[in-house]
Amino acid sequence: MADHPNKTTHQILLDALVAFVTEHPNPKVQRFRQTMLNWGEAWTDVPPIHLPAPDTFEQAHSLAHSSTASLMGLFVQDRAALK
pLDDT in tens, 26-45: 999 889 888 888 887 776 77
Q: Give the model's pLDDT for residue 8.
A: 79
Domain boundaries, the chain: 7-82
State the burial class of residue 73 (Cβ atoms within 10 Å of its Cβ: 0-12, 13-18, 19+): middle
Q: Give the model's pLDDT for residue 3.
A: 47
Can you point out the beta strands (E) in 1-83? none
Q: Give the model's pLDDT for residue 1.
A: 34
Q: What angle do CA 32, 69, 80 make, to 5 degrees?
A: 100
Q: Give the model's pLDDT for residue 2.
A: 43
